Amino acid sequence: MTDTPDILARILDRKREEIAERMLRTSLEDLRGFIDAAPAVRPFLAALEARIEGGRSAVIAEIKKASPSRGVLREDFDPASIARSYEAGGAACLSVLTDRDFFQGADVHLEDARAASSLPVLRKDFIVDAYQVYEARVMGADCVLLIAAALEDARLQDLLMLTHELGMNALIEIHEARELERVLKLDAALIGINNRDLRTFETRLETTLDLVKMIPGNRMVITESGIHTREDVARMREAGVHAFLVGEAFMTAADPGARLAELFG
């Protein structure tokens, strides 16, 4: 992790400060005490598998207001209505950005989106501490994102085990072959391949097309970033990739769910 990209390093530094601030308001012990009152877990992996077994693309549709590279993506931002639109458009699951400082996200965005739909929900954030995994479960997340580039092996393993203990799934995100080698040593059912280079922000679909060849068939591969056309979808499916995490292509559309149906229908 000595070569952690600058933007990611900045985000992680701020994230550690944010966790410390949150722990002053709610201790880890108190947070754990809220778990019993959390909504029942919805089966995230099973929802994706069901779509694929039915011969369809399994789409994790993302709800995010902004990104560091593009700024505000959607001025008219209502997570609940977007969630309903995605469900109507055929999404298998939702992904909700909860990072405040770089993506203008919020915990309440996830809570509102989940309450408005029946779909399982991924907490999309920069998770570096067990505190955030407990937070995710308390707010109703069914899956969490773990970014290999942000976590040493031991921490990645510990956080993965904790998600399993809490009944959730974890999507482990990689960007390159070295990270994939690390992740394949873990009991990781969901492997996300991010086509965006965190150093340059360039997006190349070839990242997924190259790395998927190295992944055993008993893992589910989810391609992330850069899916904008039906041709992009077809390229992935021809390569054996049937699960997609898509955000910006939907967030910039007038009707996100209709755009989803158009792209994957």
Report the pLDDT value the prediction gives residue 71, as an integer from 0 to 100. Answer: 86
Report the pLDDT value the prediction gives residue 11, as an integer from 0 to 100. Answer: 92
Whether the pLDDT of residue 48 is over 80: the answer is yes
> Span 33-61, mean pLDDT?
97
User: In the predicted model, what is the mean pLDDT of the chain?
Assistant: 95
Q: Where are the alpha helices (DSSP H) in 44-187?
A: 44-53, 79-89, 107-116, 130-139, 153-165, 177-183
Q: If you search the block for the tokens 């992680």, which residue do you land on? A: 12
> Span 209-227, mean pLDDT?
97
Report the pLDDT value the prediction gives residue 4, as an integer from 0 to 100. Answer: 57
Percent of the chain clearing pLDDT 90 (strictly above): 90
List pLDDT tens digits, range 133-149.
999 999 999 999 999 99
121 forms bridges with which residues in the sheet?
94
Catalytic residue chosen out of the listed positions 95, 124, 179, 195: 124
Catalytic residue chosen out of the listed positions 87, 135, 173, 248: 173
Report the pLDDT value the prediction gives residue 202, as an integer from 0 to 100. Answer: 86
Phi first, then psi: what are they for 7, rounded to 5°? -65, -40
Q: Which of 123, 87, 121 is nearest to 105 (CA)?
A: 123
Report the pLDDT value the prediction gives residue 95, as an integer from 0 to 100. Answer: 98
Catalytic residue chosen out of the listed positions 87, 135, 179, 224: 224
Q: Which of 101, 87, 82, 57 is nearest to 238 (CA)?
A: 57
User: 32 or 5, which is more confident?
Assistant: 32
List pLDDT tens digits, range 169-212.
999 999 999 999 999 999 999 999 999 987 777 899 999 999 99
CA dist., res. 121 & res. 96, Å (int):
7
CA dist., res. 239 & res. 48, Å (int):
18
Is there a catalytic annotation at residue 64? yes
Classify residue 153 as left (phi > 0), alpha (psi -120 to 50) or beta: alpha
- In this prediction the pTM is 0.95
User: 4 or 155, which is more confident?
Assistant: 155
Q: For residue 257, give the H/E element and its range.
A: helix 256-264
Q: If you search the block for the tokens 């990645």, which residue do you land on? A: 156
Catalytic residue chosen out of the listed positions 57, 95, 169, 225: 225
Whether the pLDDT of residue 34 is over 50: the answer is yes
Catalytic residue chosen out of the listed positions 169, 194, 195, 248: 194
Give residue 1's pLDDT band: very low, low, confident or very high (50, 70, 90).
very low
Which residues are CB-contacts of 7 (< 8 A; sequence separation ≥ 6)?
A: 68, 198, 201
Amino acid code (one letter) for 253 = A
DSSP strand E in 150-264: where? 169-174, 190-194, 220-224, 243-246
Is there a catalytic annotation at residue 65? no
Is there a catalytic annotation at residue 124? yes
Q: Strands 66-67 and 71-72: what pairing?
A: antiparallel
Report the pLDDT value the prediction gives residue 2, as an integer from 0 to 100. Answer: 42
Is there a catalytic annotation at residue 17? no
Catalytic residue chosen out of the listed positions 15, 64, 95, 111: 64
Is there a catalytic annotation at residue 62? yes
Q: Which of 66-80, 204-218, 229-243 has the lowest mean pLDDT?
A: 66-80
Which residues are CB-contacts of 12 (< 8 A; sequence separation ≥ 6)?
A: 4, 126, 128, 150
Q: Where are the alpha helices (DSSP H) in 129-183?
A: 130-139, 153-165, 177-183
Q: Strands 66-67 and 143-147: what pairing?
A: unpaired
Burial of 253 (0-12, 13-18, 19+ CB in 10 A): middle
List pLDDT tens digits, range 84-142.
999 999 999 999 999 999 999 999 999 999 999 999 999 999 999 999 999 999 999 99
> Span 233-240, mean pLDDT?
98
CA dist., res. 262 & res. 219, Å (int):
28
